[in-house]
Copies of this chain bind each other. A is one copy, B any other.
Amino acid sequence: MVKLIALYEQPQDKEAFDKHYFETHTPITKEIPGLRDMKVTRIVGSPTGENKYYLLCEMFYDDHESLQTAMKTDEGKASGKDVMKFAGDIVTLMIGEEVHE
């Protein structure tokens, strides 16, 4: 599987972030054609005590082609536009391939 990963740093207003993330952004994202699964992880700490990050979201697709196609759909563009609007300054986006050992 291929996944699009969104890693969010701590937002200034956590309550406003959560409200927008779970009530607006997640529903938009879930409509993206080709999305197989979506896993959200709340970052709650670290072994070293530092805690720069707030949330990690993994969005699973069959392969790179499906992901590229998905990002060009209306739903994909809407999700991308939304994330840049509410979290453009705190989000890092990555494309990953699962390693099977």
Given known pairs A56-B96, A92-B52, the reply for A4 and B42 (CB within 8 Å) is no
Q: Does A33 contact B (CB under 8 A)?
A: no
Q: Does A16 contact B (CB under 8 A)?
A: no
A interface size (C-beta, 8 A): 31
Point out the residues of chain B lying under 8 angstroms from A44, CB to CB: 95-97
A38 CB to closest chain B CB (Å) equals 9
Contact bitstring A39-69, B, C-beta under 8 A = 1, else 0: 1111111111001110010000000000000
CB of B3 within 8 A of CB of A96, answer no
29 contacts between A and B (CB under 8 A): A3-B41, A4-B47, A5-B41, A5-B43, A22-B101, A26-B101, A39-B98, A40-B98, A40-B101, A41-B96, A41-B97, A41-B98, A42-B96, A42-B97, A42-B98, A42-B99, A43-B94, A43-B95, A43-B96, A44-B97, A45-B95, A46-B93, A46-B95, A47-B71, A47-B80, A51-B94, A52-B92, A53-B94, A56-B94
